[in-house]
Copies of this chain bind each other. A is one copy, B any other.
Amino acid sequence: MELLKNAILERGYVVGGDILKVDSFLNHQLDIELLNEIGKEFSKKFEGESITKILTAEVSGIAIASIAAQYFKVPVVFAKKSDSKNIDAETFDSQVYSYTKGRYYTMKVSRKYLDREDKILIIDDFMANGKAASGLLEIIEKSGAKLVGIGVVIEKGFQTGGDEIRSQGIRVESLAVIDSMGLEGVTFRE
């Protein structure tokens, strides 16, 4: 998606060689017009899939999923994160390791909002090592819902998460895949 790649090149920047900061349009300030184009692009990619719900994770997936959901005409459910390891009988939980924080956290979705009739599209801002996506996959599996696929705004193609998940036969659609990045800039996969 050219508009997104241009935003990354012009308004993103790389910190310390491996962190891409997109705070100016995706993660802190939100460029709602760009998010609309991203939403439209996801709806084209997953057209005809009769999706019933979009699942994402707090915090940074929420705006993207909400704007995209308008094109699918479905509700959004966002997984809540907590440091607590209590397994709540009323939630589907997954333990997820965060490399950024250096610890596990629990992702939770209330059992009320996912069931075996649902066809779920996961939407998230980043895919890197795939830990967060795997947490959402585990929650969907526990709920008995059907997974349609995963829509990712920015995939770090030089990390293994996306390809590991694809190798399980899961459809992953990333709107921009970064092959390499560093102080010299960002290179996208063609």
Cα separation A29 to B62 with both chains bound (whole Å): 11
Give chain B nearest CB distance to A40 CB in angstroms. 13
Please, which residue of chain B has its CB at the minimum distance from the CB of A76? B30
Cα separation A55 to B21 with both chains bound (whole Å): 20
Question: How many copies of this chain does the complex contain?
Answer: 2
Count contacts on A: residues with CB < 8 A to the other chain: 29
Give chain B nearest CB distance to A19 CB in angstroms. 15
A32 at the interface (CB under 8 A from B): yes
Q: Mark A21-58, 1 if CB is under 8 A from B, else 0.
A: 00110001111110110000000000000000000001
Cα separation A31 to B76 with both chains bound (whole Å): 7
A98 at the interface (CB under 8 A from B): no
- CB atoms of A29 and B77 under 8 A apart: yes
Cα separation A70 to B71 with both chains bound (whole Å): 14
- CB atoms of B70 and A32 under 8 A apart: yes
Residues of B within 8 A of A17 (CB): none
Which residues of A line the B interface, CB within 8 A?
Answer: 23-24, 28-33, 35-36, 58-59, 62-63, 66-67, 69-70, 73-78, 80, 109-110, 112-113
